[in-house]
Amino acid sequence: MQQAACRNADTVIVLDFETTGMSPDQGDRAIEIGAVKLEAGQLADRFQGLMNPGLRVSAFIEGLTGISNEMLVGAPACEEVMNEFADFIAGHDLVAHNASFDRRFLDAELARIGRGYSGEFACSMLAARRVYRDAPDHKLGTLVAYKGIPHDGTFHRALADAEMTAGLWLGMLGDITARHEFANIPFSLMQELARVPAAAAAGFLGRARRRNQVKQKCRVC
DNA sequence: TGCCAGGCCCTCTTTAGGGCCTT
């Protein structure tokens, strides 16, 4: 059986990496992964792991994340943590804020251990640019404040950021449902939303809702 | 502190350039 056929459409993994820098192609590595599993809009599970990249992180990263070199010395190797994480995300679609960044590190770290994943990515930042066009900007912290998403004040730690991204994701789904009267919002629609011009997003959602209604009527018939 | 890279978006564009966002 193909892995893609096993994906649960009601379940997504919202993830966030802390890393040594911006680019795995330049030698940067992951130092922490955090993720939450959402099942039918409810938080069902968490994953958090510091990992030792085998190199020292800069003072800038220590200051930004609060993750020190001393903390990483005693952490398990990236290979061990990422192997567990590959099991955690198996068969599920994935969400991240500025997903292109997290996808590069996920791909790079899993490639190192010969693992992969079958889910597809959606980006909460690209979706938010279309749903919340009046927000001051679309940084995660700004959107959390803008939408009043509960948090404990921790930023730039993987699990905390993943939980806030999950809150933002659920909030967007709720706002789209309320504004456009969706009965349900497929994951693929959120991917498509991220690809339409921002100015055309409202029209896109209106047309998508009408298509959704037609499908539902057909099911009744 | 701000740069590094990569992908994406927007517009005074499309044979381009600047800005956003992630660590």
> Number of folded domains in chain A?
1
The answer to the question of residue A2 being in a domain is no
What pLDDT tens digit does each residue of chain A (221 aa) get? 333 334 555 789 999 999 999 999 989 999 999 999 999 999 999 999 999 999 999 999 999 999 999 999 999 999 999 999 999 999 999 999 999 999 999 999 999 999 999 999 999 999 999 999 889 999 999 999 999 999 888 899 999 999 999 999 999 999 998 888 887 888 988 988 888 888 888 888 888 888 776 555 544 43
The answer to the question of residue A1 being in a domain is no
pLDDT at A220: 42
Which of A89, A97, A92, A93 lies closest to A194, judged by CA?
A97
State the residue range of the domain holding A13: 8-220
The answer to the question of residue A3 being in a domain is no
Answer for A200: CB within 7 Å of strand B.
no
CA–C1' nearest nucleotide, residue A165: B22
The answer to the question of residue A127 being in a domain is yes
Are the CB atoms for A81 and A155 separated by under 8 Å? no
Q: Which CATH number do you get for residue A95?
A: 3.30.420.10
pLDDT at A4: 37
- Please tell me the distance from the alpha carbon of residue A217 to that of residue A209, in angstroms, as a whole number: 12
**Kind of pairing between the strands at A93-96 and A121-123:** parallel
Burial class (CB in 10 A: 0-12, 13-18, 19+), A177: middle
The answer to the question of residue A40 being in a domain is yes
- Please tell me the distance from the alpha carbon of residue A108 to that of residue A147, in angstroms, as a whole number: 33
pTM for this one? 0.90
The answer to the question of residue A192 being in a domain is yes
Answer for A197: CB within 7 Å of strand B.
yes
pLDDT at A198: 83
- Please tell me the distance from the alpha carbon of residue A102 to that of residue A122, in angstroms, as a whole number: 11
pLDDT at A215: 58
Answer for A112: CB within 7 Å of strand B.
no
The answer to the question of residue A173 being in a domain is yes
The answer to the question of residue A46 being in a domain is yes
Give the C-alpha distances (Å, rounded to integers) separating A14 from A63, A79, A91, A205, A211.
24, 20, 13, 23, 27
Tokens 């800038």 locate to: A60
Answer for A42: CB within 7 Å of strand B.
no
In angstroms, the CA of A218 and the C1' of B7 are apart by 39
Answer for A129: CB within 7 Å of strand B.
yes
Please, which positions of strand B sit below 7 A from a protein CB? Answer: 1-11, 20-23
Answer for A194: CB within 7 Å of strand B.
yes
